[in-house]
Amino acid sequence: MTDKIPRRITPQRQLILEALRKADYHPTALELFEIARRRLPRLSLATVYRNLELLVANGTVRRLELGGTQARFDWDPAPHYHVRCVDCGRVDDLHGLLIELPARGSETADGYELLSHRLEFAGVCPKCRGHREQSRPRGCSI
């Protein structure tokens, strides 16, 4: 891999991207691997990581580094925020919410030049709201 731009459309690449686009949530690399492997059993997890990195590099998909430990991926280039369920870890889009924030290029009191921001919500997803009586899981440090 000389630079970071995908040159070919391999079955693996196609399959991974398709799995991401079909998911109605934001899957992790491992989740995509397991979906794609159903159709390409010899697929390797390293290939999934490599392809996701390439697709991120060329702007096709977006890597989300939200709470929790694993990266999640997003095929939708439109600006939007995300909600993460504190119970099950599921990540969904948050539609119809736009917030007034400092513009790109503005400067802070400390002399930082602001470039972008990341806003993520934590909440309880519809499914987990049903059976919510359990002990609190770790990782809610938001």
Partner DNA sequence: ATTTCTGCAAACACTTTGCAACTGC
Partner DNA sequence: GCAGTTGCAAAGTGTTTGCAGAAAT
The answer to whether the CB of 116 falls within 8 A of the CB of 104 is yes
Task: Summarize as ranges the residues that interact with a second copy (CB under 8 A).
Answer: 56, 62-65, 67-68, 83, 85-86, 92-97, 99-102, 108-126, 129, 140-142
Task: Summarize as ranges the residues that interact with DNA (CB under 7 A).
Answer: 1-3, 6-8, 10, 12-13, 28-30, 40, 42-47, 49-51, 53-54, 69-71
Instruction: Give the Cα separation of 24 and 12 in Å (integer).
Output: 20
- Give the dihedral sign, CA 89/65/23/44: negative
- Give the dihedral sign, CA 70/58/75/23: negative
Nearer to a second copy, 9 or 109 (CB): 109
How many C-beta atoms surround the C-beta of residue 128 within 10 A? 16
Nearer to a second copy, 41 or 79 (CB): 79
Sequence-distant (≥ 6) Cβ neighbours of residue 70 within 8 angstroms: 28, 29, 30
Nearer to DNA, 28 or 83 (CB): 28
Nearer to DNA, 23 or 40 (CB): 40
- In the complex, the smallest distance separating the C-beta of residue 17 from a second copy, rounded to whole angstroms, is 17
- In the complex, the smallest distance separating the C-beta of residue 105 from DNA, rounded to whole angstroms, is 28
